[in-house]
Chains A and B, each alone.
Chain A
Amino acid sequence: MPKISGSLSHKNVVCPFCSLHCDDLEINVYDNKLSVKNNIPKSCASKFEQLNLPIYREMPATIKGKPCETKKAYQYSRQLIKESKETIFLNSSVDVNITREALSAASKVNGIIDHVNSSIFLKNISIYQRRGYMATSLTEIKNKSDTIIVFSNNLFKTYPRLMEKFLATNDSFSINPKNKKIYVIGKQISNKKDCGSKDKRITYIDFNNKNISELLTSFANKKNTTSISNKIFNKLLTSIENSKYLSILWATSEFYSYKECDEIIYNISAYVVSLNKTMRAACLSLAGNDGDVSFSQTLGWMSGFPSRIKFTGNFFEYDKDSHNASQLINLGNSDLVIYLNSLSEKKLILNKKNKNIVIGRPCTKYNIEPDIFIPCGIPGVDFKGHIFRTDNVVSLPLSSLRLSHNKSLQQVLREIIK
């Protein structure tokens, strides 16, 4: 690997690791090693800096857990793909350009393409597939929203800079930011801890978010039937009624395990729609951190569908049930799953019923050894790329900060599918 001597400083670097994609990072590169210069949460900085460790830099391809030459891994991958009757391309963290390549790969082998978070983001899309929806985006919230309601159990852990950079900001173009009222509703202890902000504009309200529908009904009827004290409830209701621009934020992933999940997100949306008869209000449902938006958007324009497509000869078909990768895998209906994991550190859950190929960033975690692991570069660190932010409408350029030890995920796909 050639060495870069001297130091290079990159400004306005876009962080690829969480879907807020903060782009104010300053990163120095010396001897191909990264150091983050800003004062940002440790958990954010370490996502870059840990990549300097030898274990990340020298991770080899493996076959059944044993290190091998990359060429061998390609060869064996081609063999498994050739032998497969039903190949699934399961995206677990991707950008726009990886999705484009994955789609092209799936079309060449008549495969199925899905994303690990499909079940969650399909719920968000289903709101406007069934009824009206009023949406907003982060810059609007920062500059216009005087009342912000965040339904959260662990959101500030998932999006560490959400409060600091987007909600409790010191500058707003259209309102006096001092008068912002921010209500964080959910598990108070974890919200206070993860958010860490003692900002007076923030009110933390302890609430079981399974009961959001009841809270919304109470707002609509102006009569509190919830566990929230009347004092706090009235404060909240007054803020809503006096608001010039109300924003309601949530992440559907936090409600996914509730049986009330669909009802909750439909009710939030319907409540906001009804408020807009006389005032302004809008929703922002935060997306997952695994390139969910880049995947569903790219698939959307290339196929008309957000996920779960199967290619069959001349054409493709969408079926959110029968092309659901996790179901197919659990039922043993697929013989080969190719995981595409360019960004995430979450553990991949592989199933030994089928063969598994993981094309992933170095130190991708899994529950069991895949048949083949091929390391790839990280878009935004090793390669240029294009990624969508959580609010669906902003997409950002990812840069290449250092010389890559590995090929890009797209290059690997092109190697194994010819």
Chain B
Amino acid sequence: MSTLCLKNGRVFDPINKIFNKKKDIYIEDGKITEVSNGKISETIDCNNKIVMPGAIDLHTHIGGGKVNIARLMLQEFHNNSDNDYDLTADFVPSTLKTGLQYIKMGYTSCFEPAVLPINARQSHAEMADTPFIDKGGYALLGNDDFLLDLISRGAHQSEINDYVAFILKATQCIGIKVVNPGGINAFKFNQRALNVDENSVRYKITPRKIVRVLARAVYELGVPHPLHVHCSNLGVPGNFKSTIETIKAAEGLPVHITHIQFHSYGNNGDRNFSSASAEITEYINKIPNLTCDVGQVLFGQTATMSGDSMKQHANHSHAHPDKWLCMDIECEAGCGVVPFKYTDQSFVNALQWAIGLETFLLTEDPDKIFLTTDHPNGAPFTSYPHLIKLLMDKTFRDNLLDQMSVDISKHTILKDIKREYTLSEIATMTRSAPAKILGLKNKGSLSKDADADITVYDSSIKDIEEMFANPTHVIKDGIVVVKDGEIKKYTWGKTQVVKPEYDTAIEKKLKKYFDKYHTIALPNYKISNDEMSEVIGSDINEVECIRKRIS
């Protein structure tokens, strides 16, 4: 057996409480091993190098209908010339470029957070065409007529659990996400807003109820990743209150609030738009079982894409360039694609930038907050190294704040925050913490038998942004795929899925619903393991549930 040794690196492995410690790492057969018995076939000298597990992005829109709509809608931006093969724009990259850019940044696992069950086949096909990385998806529920009808008729929680488990299996997903709970559905019945405690006209149920029922289902099934929630009132000034109410709706069960920056707005001041990061982070800090990712805004052209057709439609007048698409989808969900340019000349955009950073810096525990831009909604994922520098370097961010075209200094407490993230904290929030919250026992860690997904950085590079943008080595499943920025070998990752058990009686009920109301048959809605590998083109890896099903 051949062994690869990473010698003398400064290792950051938060799961094993190893921070900045000189240590050799051995790799055999795609896995991390302890001191090797076999012959060392290759040694990488990691003197002056930082060694971390491969990074994990738990919320990035990399595959599925709306991503592809954006690619085609915004093709005039596909002229980026700093890449010699693929000219697609960083905010709507092709699948190939997505894989290339992620792996060159040392990211080895990425999760698409908005898989419409009916569109899962497309999502998985796109991700299967994305090289290097492991991937997975969160299935969207909570706006589908079938579930809303179940809830409105007072169905027992165990029946809902069966349905949720069925959806996870049928769509080959690893988690459940709810977007604007009930709101996307209500928009189809011409409601234009839906607050947390407001009844939808059609089903007479509230977003609070939907969040409660789904958070419970995910918990009781033992799905590792908590319910992933895109709250009501996206982007609406004053929405921090409904965000806090949504957190409360989970009633203490685990819940993940996504792109929380977009949901942390007050409506104070002469502009009726203010930061509520203090109120929000107070909650994050005090409530156990609550995690979030930020959805940081950075300046430049991008595309916003969301299942939230209600809010995307409401915001379409801000489209830049002036074009957009919203869609109602299969009595299940919706989508809205609205291109957008964040500029520091806009008070709102500048404050969004500050609110995101405040949220990162005021959240005490890096295990509870994850580094995202909600790619591409706040900015493309390629800006992560820049974002890391903003978090690690107070002078850098204060200077940027001073140079801004609009003066937001009276509206943000950013300058009063002394905190600078440490490398250990960055390693936690981008490696061990997302692995933990997704139930990926073999990822985000350098423990024995973990998958050998490893990133090596050159610590002699003084600029932290440059260091994070250019790992010297990226190792995926034990294979050196990137060396000094060059691709050494193409590999194809797996799709991470979770399959909690369920009573198949739910399929009989669903079959009746499908036969009568749907336009495809239930068996064709489901994606089998064979279809994943033979037709879609990605093998699956089943992640274990955290415990036996409760009810």
Q: Counting CB contacts under 8 A, is A238 at the interface?
A: no
Q: Which of A136, A137, A143, A301 has the largest count of B CB atoms less than 10 A from its CB?
A: A301
Complex: A171 Cα to B519 Cα, angstroms: 11
Pairwise interchain contact A140-B95, C-beta atoms closer than 8 A: no
CB distance from B491 to the nearest CB of A (A): 17
B309 to A, closest residue via Cβ: A134
B520 at the interface (CB under 8 A from A): yes
Interface string of A107-139 (1 = CB under 8 A from B): 000000000000000000100111111111111
Contacts of A297 in B (CB 8 A): 68, 122
Q: Are A301 and B94 in contact (CB under 8 A)?
A: yes
Once A100-B129, A133-B324, A135-B326 are accepted as A-B contacts, the answer to whether A140 and B331 lie under 8 Å apart by CB is: yes
Q: Given contacts A97-B535, A280-B188, is CB(A394)–CB(B68) below 8 Å?
A: no
B313 touches A137 (CB 8 A): no
Selected contact of B72 from candidates A130, A174, A244, A300, CB within 8 Å:
A300
- Report A44 CB to chain B, min CB distance, Å: 16
> B68 CB to closest chain A CB, in angstroms?
5
Indicate if the CB atoms of B71 and A173 lie closer than 8 Å.
Answer: no
Which B-chain residue is minimally distant from A307 (CB atoms)?
B72
- How distant is A65 from chain B, measured CB to nearest CB, in Å? 35
Measured between beta carbons, the chain B residues less than 8 angstroms from A244 are 189-190
Residue B485 CB within 8 A of the other chain: no
In the complex, chain A residues whose CB is within 8 Å of the CB of B161: none
User: How many Å lie between the Cα of A301 and that of B119 in the bound state?
Assistant: 14
- Whether B323 pairs with A393 at a CB distance below 8 angstroms is no
Q: Report how many residues on chain B are interfacial, defined by Cβ distance under 8 Å.
A: 64
Report if A394-B94 is in contact (Cβ < 8 Å); known contacts: A304-B71, A315-B85: no
Beta-carbon contact of B78 and A318 below 8 Å: yes
Q: Does A397 contact B (CB under 8 A)?
A: yes
Chain A 285-322 near chain B by CB (<8 Å), digits 1 or 0: 00000000000111011111110000000111110000
Known contacts A137-B328, A386-B125: A301-B71 contact under CB 8 Å: yes
B72 surroundings in chain A (CB, below 8 A) = 125, 128-129, 296, 300, 304-306
Closest to A100 in B: B129
Are B71 and A245 closer than 8 Å at their CB atoms?
no
Q: Which residues of A contact B316 (CB under 8 A)?
A: 132
Tell me whether B325 is interfacial, beta carbon within 8 Å: yes
Chain B residues 158 to 196 lying within 8 A of chain A, measured CB to CB, are: 187-190
Residues on A with C-beta less than 8 A from B84 are: 314-315
Which residue of A128, A301, A318 contacts B129 across the interface (Cβ within 8 Å)? Answer: A301
User: Which residues from A are CB-within-8-Å of B87?
Assistant: 304, 315-317
A341 CB to nearest B CB, Å: 21
B80 → chain A closest CB, angstroms: 10
Residue ID in chain B nearest A134 by CB atoms = B326
Residues of A within 8 A of B116 (CB): 393
Task: Check if B517 sits within 8 Å of A173, measured CB to CB.
Answer: yes
**Complex CA distance for A258 and B78, rounded to whole angstroms:** 31
**A229-259, CB < 8 A from B:** 244-245
Q: Contacts A139-B519, A142-B517, A305-B72: A397 and B330 contacting too (C-beta < 8 A)? A: no
Q: Report the nearest A residue to B517, measured CB to CB.
A: A173
As a 0/1 sequence over residues 136 to 156 of chain A, the CB contacts with chain B under 8 angstroms (1 = contact) are 111110111000000000000
Separation in Å of the A291 CB from the closest CB of chain B? 14
Chain A neighbourhood of B145, CB < 8 A? 143, 173-174
Q: Produce 1/0 per residue, B317-329, CB < 8 A to A.
A: 0010011111111
Q: Is A165 an interface residue (CB 8 A)?
A: yes
Sample of 10 A–B contacts (CB below 8 Å): A128-B323, A132-B316, A132-B319, A137-B328, A139-B332, A174-B189, A302-B96, A304-B87, A316-B87, A394-B118
Interface residues of A (CB under 8 A from B): 11-12, 14, 23-24, 96-97, 100, 125, 128-140, 142-144, 165-166, 171-174, 244-245, 276, 279-280, 282, 296-298, 300-306, 314-318, 384-386, 388, 392-397
User: What residues make up the interface of B, taking CB atoms closer than 8 Å to A?
Assistant: 63, 65, 67-69, 71-73, 75, 78, 84-89, 92-96, 116, 118-119, 121-122, 125-126, 129, 145, 149, 187-190, 202, 313, 316, 319, 322-332, 337, 516-521, 523-524, 527, 531, 534-536
16 extra interface residue pairs, beta carbon distance < 8 Å, beyond A135-B327, A305-B72: A96-B125, A100-B129, A130-B323, A139-B331, A142-B517, A280-B189, A297-B68, A301-B67, A302-B95, A303-B88, A304-B86, A315-B85, A317-B87, A318-B75, A394-B330, A397-B531
